[in-house]
Structure 1
Amino acid sequence: MIEWREEGVLLSVRPHGETSVIVEAFTEGHGRHLGVVRGGISRKLAPVLQPGAQLDLHWKARLEDHLGAFSVEPIKGRAAAVLGDRLALSAMSAALALAGFALPERAAYPVFYAQTVALLDAMAAGTGWLPAYLDWEMALLEQMGFGLDLSACAVRGVNEDLAYVSPRTGRAVSRQAAGAWVDRLLPLPEVMLGGPAGLVGVQAGLRTTGHFLEEKLAPALGNRPLPPARARFVDLLVKSG
């Protein structure tokens, strides 16, 4: 018997048989991991198995490559905290869906896991989560091998007056170097460089990260479409402004 136990964030739940569910969790040491929770639709467990929850997970399987089974204990729920905030609820759904979409199964990303937990906690607290969400998408791209290089202008080599991102290379471009290509470049708002985090800037930043999620990450994962939750969140964000 193979087993391990650690905390994890619940990404998704789907039915399995008549009374069980398959849960998908993101843990620090075992990455994105799936397992069966027997009796997962019961009155006792169903309220615990809400996406975004922090859980104590105990996984067992006869062999390493088996699906295995989870036993779970609640640590902290987050869904109830965002139910009254449509935007935060939508953003949480987008983050959980993107993590499930992008992260390879059973590969550990401890730093990104910690950033994910911090983001979800900020959403539940209702403070500072919007720019943190943009940072999280940038970090996801970085972890998956499609990180943006915003350190200096790709054309001039300077780190001043950076205003755009090349849609092909993901490198920054200064306002002066953009020239006739300006209409083809993606926005680089100050918030992506550690500056003020206004709503307009975050919207512009999500346009840029969205391009690389759709045009770089998704093709690398077999041209699967991005989770609809991400588009719903961006649409809601635009309408909120």
Structure 2
Amino acid sequence: MELAGLSAVVTGGASGLGEATARALAAQGVKVAIFDMNAEKGEAVAADIGGVFCNVNVTSDESVDAGFAKARAAIGQERILINCAGTGNAAKTASRSRETGEIKHFPLDAFNMIIQINLVGTFRCVAKSAAGMLTLPALADGERGAIVNTASVAAEDGQMGQAAYSASKGGVVGMTLPIARDLMSEGIRVNTILPGIFNTPLMNGAPQNVKDALAASVPFPKRLGNPSEYASLAVEMCRNSYFNGEDVRIDGAIRMAPR
């Protein structure tokens, strides 16, 4: 798919993997709308790339609908959707305090929150974007659009405390092929990226010795991933029209240990 002149929506586009992808798409001549809850950063990135910022909470139908309406009024119906909005938490399924013997379990509201943001929020944006893409005329090969979702290597080798996060990202992986099959007759492709340990704003807050240890655990290259490397893969998934129904790790060959 020729990217120049197309329109795209990037969720979580104000920082990290989403920001890198928004910038990479803009560099290819794509008009980009950024969906995010951080208005200050989102407005700044949008201004820098000549795009539009939409204050969107992916857990809300009304917020997502309003975001798509604003984006489409500004840059037209998107042919590209990149889902990078997401978050995580950590808690054991059940645990015992060594000091007091108190037994706790993973709070179900905290579990549900991660599922709602990472899994349901992703599907919400996919379904609404795909419905909009159906209104577009077909391009070469009958193509109408391309969707890229973000999972995580935790979908396949989640660590201790990652039950909710791994479940949410595993769900994103699990729905990739069925959605691609749902949309195949309409010329809309769907792929998912499973990033390893990347140097995102979340990671920037970690102590340097922690980041060094994580980098050393990567087989090769022994460093954290750069957001631009994720963005490069996301752009190629959009550009390459034979890329469809795939879940691809980008992780330096790491396989996460139990803890």
Question: TM-score of the superposition, structure 1-length normalised?
Answer: 0.25
Larger radius of gyration: 1
Higher helix share: 2
Question: TM-score of the superposition, structure 2-length normalised?
Answer: 0.23
Higher strand share: 1
